[in-house]
Amino acid sequence: MKLVAGNSNRVIADAIATYLEIPLAKCLVRRFADQEIFVEIQENVRGEDVFVVQSTSYPANDNLMELLILIDALRRASARRITAVLPYFGYARQDRKPSARTPISAKLVANLITHAGADRVLTLDLHAGQIQGFFDIPTDNLFSVPVMSRDIKEHYDLANVMVVSPDVGGVVRARALAKRIDAPLAIVDKRRERPGESEVMNIIGNVAGRDCILFDDIVDSGGTLCNAADALIANGARSVVAYITHGVLSGGAVTRITSSRLKELVITDSIQPTEAVLAASNIRVTSIATLIGEAINRTASEKSVSSLFA
């Protein structure tokens, strides 16, 4: 087995390598003067089971292209099997046509990864489960619920906790967490007027006096989370924290969250946190590397991955 890392998230790649007790394969990824990407695999991978770790986060297009070229280089170096490990799968929010004459970019990206030469895909908390069907190769979608539930049990009194889905679309995800920690569930009913903005309308469920935990897969601008926190506090919640898998946190999101009524935002390292994120007083990063490392280990040894979430 070989583990290859792109440049998007070296922190999690190093942590996965430490868990698996194998070194990262020697690999050169550099750019020409015009930013064209060049890749050279600097050790023999012929006949090897190779796992390429690369989040397609900001800058999404550069990191995606880097992943495709890494896969192509490995295929041409006669790797036996290539698994694209994407802790964060970019373009996942473009999984359908929201209006006329718009693309389904998640399907396009799935096609690119497949045609580049990947034999499998391993990813985490896809924005929409049906994206697995966009790939014509085996795709394992891992869930952060075991990691998040363990962290919640370590930091909060479960007797007064209520899990909250920040929108109707995330109910299944939030219910899975609520079931794990044996907590009740509430839902924020919101109406989105335009992309990147949301207006909270109603809270479905009694949150009065509760310590509310918002649970979702992606936090981008932070507007939805901050609005949901305000609505929960207005409805009598004692405190509001958020557990989000992928901390995209674009634009002024960090500033928005640090000045919000959120007691704490917990994200994973599926996207390498920026200096601003690490310095924020109410943002904490928990590692998902052990979960991904164990999934890689089980994939390489042909063992069950789904049993990780039983």
198: annotated binding-site residue? Answer: no
269: annotated binding-site residue? Answer: no
250: annotated binding-site residue? Answer: no
Spatial CA neighbour of 106 closest among 84, 123, 89: 89
127: annotated binding-site residue? Answer: yes
- With contact defined as beta carbons under 8 Å apart, do 242 and 216 qualify? yes
Catalytic residue list: 190
- Provide the b/e sequence for 265-287 (b: ≥16 CB within 10 Å): bbbbbbbbbeeebeebebbbbbb
**157 vs 146: CA distance, rounded Å:** 17
Strands (E), the chain: 2-5, 27-31, 37-41, 49-53, 81-86, 120-124, 139-142, 161-165, 185-194, 197-204, 211-219, 239-247, 264-268, 283-286
Expressed in angstroms, the distance from the first to the final Cα of the chain is 26
Residues contacting residue 275 through CB under 8 Å, at least 6 positions apart: none
42: annotated binding-site residue? Answer: no
34: annotated binding-site residue? Answer: yes
221: annotated binding-site residue? Answer: yes
**In terms of DSSP H, where are the helices of 142-190?**
145-155, 171-181
Which pair of structure tokens corresponds to residue 99?
């209006």
224: annotated binding-site residue? Answer: yes
Q: Would you give the DSSP letter of residue 55?
A: -
Is 258 exposed, middle or buried, given 0-12, 13-18 or 19+ CB atoms closer than 10 A? middle
Amino acid at 228: A
Roughly what angle, to the nearest 10 degrees, separates helices 105-116 and 60-76?
Answer: 30
Which pair of structure tokens corresponds to residue 68?
């495709």
The phi, psi pair for 29, rounded to 5°, reads -125, 110
Annotated binding site for D-ribose 5-phosphate: 192, 216, 220-224
Annotated binding site for ATP: 34-36, 93-94
Annotated binding site for Mg(2+): 127, 167
